[in-house]
Amino acid sequence: MGVLEGKAVMVTGAGRGLGLAYAQHAAASGAAVVVNDVDVELAEEVAEGIRASDRRVVASGHSVTDDGQAAAIIELCVTEFGAIDGLVDNAALNHKALPWDDDPTRVRALVDVNVLEPLFCGMAAATAMRERGGVVVNVASGLVLGQPKAAAYSASKGAVASMTFSCAVDLAAHGIRVNAVCPLAWTRMIWDDPIERENGNPELSPDRIAPLVTFLLSDLAAGVTGQLVRFQGDRLHVVRQPGIKQPGLQRDHWEVEDFAAAFDGGLEGRRGRW
């Protein structure tokens, strides 16, 4: 038996790349899978391949940027398989641009997919899981720490990290675990970016990332929640929430010059007046 035997999992953006790998690995590990992609023909192709391995699967072409359609995907999983045990929020857009060259329409489309998708799907999944527990795996990015020409994408994935931390706290009492992965793999996002394509490593295939997501979906990760996990196919890190650097400085009243002195001194080692 696989580690996901008897579980029902929904994967967004599963028509290609990482989402495809996540859906295939979850199915091979025993899960019934909803393969969602706005390109429904791709979703159907992936579903057909999984079905050929005698696994339970259904394809979905719902748009994850619409709250009603996001809820309909979760309902589809429950209707087809009796429940939803796991959600993988993978659908995403990416582009590179300097701030003065970026296009507001393109930025809005990116935010709609990268931020509203995990919010809307997560809300619907949490509602369905509330009485019986479950798992949400969001897909963030190492770019939450920033990268040139990636302000929109980095901001969107920073939002995913923040909602992961928050939802993990909200949902823990209901037996729902929420984590996020920051994967690095050779995918279409890299192919479409000349700089990334030049620096990327073709050996880091999506197939190498998928076992991490399956682990987080499984009962083997029962004690893991509220974590941001970065995985490059060969190197695993846990990215901690940003903390407040200690020690801090305390004054009863602050003027402009006081802030200047504090930063000039590196905010180190002194309390009270200086």
Catalytic residue among 153, 157, 179, 209: 153
Judge if 230 and 120 occupy the same domain: yes
Task: Please tell me the distance from the alpha carbon of residue 53 to that of residue 37, in angstroms, as a whole number.
Answer: 20
Assess if residue 3 is contained within a domain. no
Query: Residue 199's pLDDT is what?
Result: 52
% of the chain residues with pLDDT over 70: 87
> Does the pLDDT at position 1 exceed 80?
no
pLDDT of residue 266: 63
Q: Does 75 reside within a domain?
A: yes
Token pair, residue 61, equals: 């072409």
22 flagged as catalytic: no
Q: Is the peptide bond preceding residue 247 cis, with omega within 30 degrees of 0?
A: yes
Pair (271, 167) in one structural domain: no
Give a yes or no: residue 191 inside a domain. Answer: yes
| Predicted confidence (pLDDT) at residue 248 exceeds the cutoff of 50 | yes
Distances (CA, A) of 255 to 97, 114, 266: 38, 40, 17
Are residue 214 and residue 262 in the same domain, yes or no?
no
Strands 86-89, 8-11: pairing is parallel
In a domain, 248, yes or no: yes
One domain for residues 170 and 271: no
Domain CATH for 151: 3.40.50.720
Distance CA 73, CA 12 (A): 9
Region 49-56 average pLDDT: 96
Q: Are 149 and 96 in contact (CB under 8 A)?
A: yes
Question: Given this model, what pLDDT does residue 185 score?
Answer: 62
Flag whether 2 is in a domain: no
Inter-residue long-range contacts of 142-150, CB under 8 Å, 24+ positions, other chains counted = 142/182, 142/184, 142/230, 144/182, 144/228, 144/239, 148/96, 149/96, 149/97, 149/98, 150/94, 150/96
Range of the domain at 19: 8-239
Same-domain check for residues 68 and 201: yes
Same domain, 235 and 249: no
What pLDDT is stored for residue 259 in this prediction? 83
Residue 1 is assigned to a structural domain of this protein: no
Q: Are residues 97 and 128 located together in one domain of the fold?
A: yes
The total domain count for the chain is 2
Confidence of residue 95 (pLDDT cuts 50, 70, 90): confident
> pLDDT band at 269, cuts 50/70/90?
very low
Mean predicted lDDT score pLDDT of the chain? 88
Whether residue 121 is found in the same domain as residue 171: yes
What are the tens digits of pLDDT across the range 124-152? 999 999 999 999 999 998 877 777 888 99
The CA distance from 75 to 81, in Å, is: 10
Sign of the four-CA dihedral 177, 180, 184, 188: positive
The whole-number average pLDDT for the span 240-248 is 68
Question: Do 206 and 262 fall within a single domain?
Answer: no
40-49, 113-122, 195-204: least confidently modelled range: 195-204
| pLDDT higher at 195 or 58 | 58
Q: Report how many helices (DSSP H) and strands (DSSP E) the chain contains, helices first.
A: 10, 8
pLDDT for 233 equals 78
Least confident range from 42-51, 72-81, 232-241: namely 232-241
Does one domain contain both 164 and 112? yes
Same domain, 59 and 191: yes
Q: Are residues 151 and 102 in the same domain?
A: yes
